[in-house]
Amino acid sequence: MDPTYLICLPFAGAGASFFKEWQQHAPEGLHIVPVQLPGREERFIDEPHTDAARAAEDACDQVLGQVDGAGRVALFGHSLGAVLAYELAHRLCGMDGVTVDRLIVSGSPGPWNGRESRASDLDDEGFLAQVRLFAGYSHPALENPEMRELLLPMLRADVEMHENYRPASEKPLPVPITAVRGCDDELVDSAQLGQWAKATSAGLTTGELVGGHMYLTDKAPDLLRLIAAELRTGTGR
């Protein structure tokens, strides 16, 4: 059985390290490939993207360097990562040497339905309060004044990128989409998950896992089992 490479796009404020522990929970045959965007971790000195199209191009270069000709791929993204994964999927579909099996989006309304409330124009305290409200979660590093000063430019860039996002293409993807949410998510309801049906010509499935908007912070094994099951269903394996 050919391996499937799960390309993981970060949510706002996250780096590739968030996904690196996922490999220990991944079912056999599923290989985790985190994407590292600029402005974080080992790319800290690089200017962060504020445009989703540029971020997707950056991610595409990374992915092709790791999986081109090596097997099948699926893409996963949560919140901001969901729309970045959608943009990346458009770029990878049709490329020689890459077979995209499925796009898995999490904690996100459809790509044409942006967030109504905005945070990017607020002062630092107001911005962080709004981000906590959006996510239902706050990274402990943001409570440290020195770390907060270092992380704020990247986090602001991510939020601006998400708030200003518009899909680069109106054309639906030719691959199936799975849309997932935490069952207690107060930001994205089941109807908003269903909006992803317009983004694919190959069918949408939806699922829920226990937790709120950031359910994936402690439900990685459950999420990876769901993803593996969806991939088996989609390919007849």
pLDDT digits (tens, 9 = 90+) for 163-187: 899 999 899 999 999 999 999 998 8
Domain at 4-235: CATH code: 3.40.50.1820
Other Cβ atoms less than 10 A from the Cβ of 64: the count is 15
How far apart are the C-alpha atoms of 74 and 101, rounded to whole Å? 5
Q: What is the pLDDT of residue 132?
A: 76
Q: What is the pLDDT of residue 234?
A: 66
What DSSP state is assigned to residue 8?
E
How far apart are the C-alpha atoms of 30 and 190, rounded to whole Å? 27
96 to each of 62, 71, 103, 104, how far by Cα in Å?
16, 11, 18, 22
- Beta-ladder partners of 179: 105, 206
Q: What is the pLDDT of residue 172?
A: 96
Q: What is the model's pTM?
A: 0.91
Domain residue spans of the chain: 4-235
pLDDT less than 70: residues of the chain: 1, 68-71, 114-117, 134-139, 141, 234-237
How far apart are the C-alpha atoms of 49 and 157, rounded to whole Å? 6
How far apart are the C-alpha atoms of 82 and 233, rounded to whole Å? 21
The three state secondary structure string of 115-133 is CCCCCCCCCHHHHHHHHHH
SS3 call for 30: strand
Structure tokens at 180: 């997932």
Q: What is the pLDDT of residue 27?
A: 92
How far apart are the C-alpha atoms of 56 and 20, rounded to whole Å? 20
